[in-house]
Structure 1
């Protein structure tokens, strides 16, 4: 019961806001201050549970005690009846008794003998009669010689027991026949044990029953007190109406926000998950009560959700989105009861940030080219001022030829226009950063049916990483791009002369969130290579990394996997990341 209540409270309190908890506790304190008489203040959940358990225990003990007393009384009656029957049979088998009954007890020996037998057997009385009911012995001597008021019951030759309401009072009675040598019933022996003896032993039984009942009631009350304290501790003193209010607030909050929320107890079991979290994590099964390991595959996403990767606003990649996750423990009343994880979908925002960064880079490149063009215009103006019109005309022709050759050369070798435009833009960015970005002479990419968006995402991320890798070093800074395609594959190679990648970090660099670079504004680091590998593996391609000095990334993609129709739905979100 305690475990179930703890799970319910973990669900409620992990989802409830601190303000809701404060309101609940303040309501409870106000009600206690204004509660009036003690009997009304006792109407709390813990008190109702305590009183209910004590009432059940008391009723059970009373009913059980009464039944036990009745059973003991019936058992004692049966035992004393059996004792009386055995005593009656023993007396009936005494030869002196049989002989005296046969001759009508002319010598008056039965009464004295019966008195001695009473002292020896512990019976209250022994009455001996003939078959007609004529008494030969009786505790009251005046009854001797008188007949019984009821008929003799042993004429059938069998012993009888019962409760006798005779002249001496109620008694446990046993009757046995006196049989002569021919087997004929000639008399009856009636032995009785008065009720006061049975009552005395029953009182002793009742004392034992009462002691046992008192012990059971005390033990039950102690257990009820402990259970009440446990319930009060688990519910943090909240009453049923307050718990119901928290549940209503939780439902309204969970289904009214556009953030994913996952609540887990102290053992890592999922106690709540809203619809947005199911959508972001792709959870379709019933997650309540399951371990996080059963719902999320191994990797950085599981580590972040479980709180094993510390930090705030941690970025993680799923198959469909870029998420920002925050893991926080939930502590109520100084005790940890679990944790809460919030998930935000940053796919669209991250796409805007990356596009803005790309536009900013192009703007800076254009600004640098503007300075260069200004200098060239100054040269032209100077030549014209000096009257060197032929030199000015030749200088202008050379400038136009260089620009046309560069653009036309790329356009002739790279078929997809958007890919050629991307490479041309990266050339401008590299020139602004004083990096020698070159496209190898053997590069040639037709692939008219290839998905250009995928190629742009891969090439753009690899070139950006290479430019960042060489930007901080002194001396020559070179980045080389090679693009090749044949009938079956597209091959992309990006290499640089930077510090390279250590052999130990070759696999680690593809983990989302891993980066050796400092954050750049709001843009998330450590996403590019993770996205590249995910794109490559999804399209059944291969990616090879050569460690330093100088990094080299070689990617091969099957042309059949670059069908733009088949991958259109997934590429939009993946490019955004």
Structure 2
């Protein structure tokens, strides 16, 4: 015997559809959306990080190349920005950078894409590491042209003195333009993954529904309760095993005859409970046995063994049995009833004959 399931519904479950297929589809689609969104977010962060790092290295390499140019160092020493401006603009056009700015040790510009800003101080507040500590690095700051990703490299004299700084940058808008095709490609793959996942989710939900014969959970629970009530209402002992030979069902009548409680029997091999049983033979052959006599605990019982078939494959065996003395008692009762019925029939016939005789005498008289 199996425990009687008691359905419980949380506040969340009340909002779900009763249909198992729709419920599975809804839950799995929700999970799929979360996974796809998380994958898209993480993937976008990775792609953006990789491209930002790559563009930062490009900006740093261009800055390092400009800082090593004699035109730049001599222009700073001689305080002549014209040559630096022409050289910086040629580098900017050749590399596609948004700006190539050269500043002296005070941060005063010697080159800029907007010539009117030459001679003014660089903005962004990210020159200190280059001008004070002599470091090369990549930073993100807001300049006069807007937010940008920039590579900073100090300019050294032949004696190792810091003369100024080179800042080569790419505007964030430009960086986004570079990143966008990769993001679109990533989005395409994510949408494809979502479509495949949605199709797989629908297929799984359909197969699960088909495997339970199209029944809904509440219908299965109702059938379970009906089956439990049916098993406990009949006078015969019922025991069932699966294809492994383990006990899966036992009602109270069977428990009384076998001397085991259902809790002790469920899940145990049938040969441990009934060493002389032929249920395993029926499991192998798939042929039922009916009205067979058997001794259980020195008590004679009448047994029926029926295989459980699923598409011509034996998946288990159900056995019903009842004490032979109960059957004998029923046979005796039926025999007594039959004899009583025959006696009544004979009396009725005799009484009918007397009535016919009496009717004949009345007609004569």
Both structures adopt the same fold (TM-score exceeding 0.5)? yes
1:292 Cα offset (Å): 3.6
Match of 2:115 among 121, 125, 141: 141
Counterpart pick for 1:173 among 147, 150, 158 = 150
Q: Structure 2 vs 1, CA of residues 337 and 226 (structure 1 numbering), >3 Å: closer, same or farther? A: farther
Match status 1:103 vs 2:78: yes
Q: Which residue of 2 aligns with 1:116?
A: 90
Does the Cα contact within 8 Å between 1:323 and 1:344 map onto a contact in 2?
yes
Q: Which residue of 1 aligns with 2:140?
A: 163
SS in 2 for 1:139: coil
SS at match of 2:290: coil
Query: What's 1:552 paired with?
Result: none
Cα offset, 1:286, TM superposition: 4.1
Aligned residue-pair number? 318
Q: 2:169 aligns with which of 179, 185, 192?
A: 192
2-side partners of 1:182 and 1:226: how far apart?
74
**Counterpart for residue 26 of structure 2:** 51
Q: 1:47 Cα deviation (Å)?
A: 1.4
Write the mapping of 1:539-554 to structure 2, written as runs, cut at 5 A: none
Cα deviation 1:267-324 (Å, max 9, x = unaligned): 5443212233234335567443455445432564653687766432121223422121
- 1:61 equivalent in alignment to 2:36: yes
Structure 1 residue 344 displacement after superposition: 1.2
- Pairwise CA distance, 1:337: 5.7
Match of 1:574 in 2: none
User: What do the CA deviations read for 1:431-484 (whole angstroms, capped 9, x no partner)?
Assistant: xxxxxxxxxxxxxxxxxxxxxxxxxxxxxxxxxxxxxxxxxxxxxxxxxxxxxx
Other-structure match for 2:217: 240
Higher Cα radius of gyration: 1
Q: Of 250, 254, 270, which aligns to 1:277?
A: 254
CA contact (8 A) 2:138 2:151 kept: yes
| TM-score normalized by the length of structure 1 | 0.49
On the 8 A contact 1:165/1:171 being kept in 2, the answer is yes
What's the CA shift for 1:101? 1.2
- The structure, 1 or 2, with the larger RCO (C-alpha pairs under 8 Å, 6+ apart) is 2
CA distance 1:47–1:335, change in 2 (3 Å): farther
Contact 2:282 2:306 (8 Å CA) reproduced: no
Structure 2 residue 305 is matched with structure 1 residue 314: no
RMSD: 3.5
Q: Assess if the C-alpha contact under 8 Å between 1:307 and 1:327 holds in 2.
A: no
The alpha-carbon deviation at position 87 of structure 1 amounts to 1.9
1:4-60 deviation line (CA, Å, top 9, x unaligned): xxxxxxx89xxxxxxxxxxxxxxxxxxxxxxxxxxx9x7411111112111221232
Where does residue 318 of structure 2 map in the other structure? 340
What is aligned with 1:407? Answer: none
Matches within 5 A, 1:192-341: 192-266=169-243, 268-283=245-260, 286-293=264-271, 295-297=273-275, 300=278, 302-303=280-281, 310-330=288-308, 338-341=316-319
Q: Distance in 1 between matches of 2:149 and 2:183?
A: 20
Mark the CA change 1:101 to 1:295 in structure 2 (over 3 Å): closer, same or farther. Answer: farther
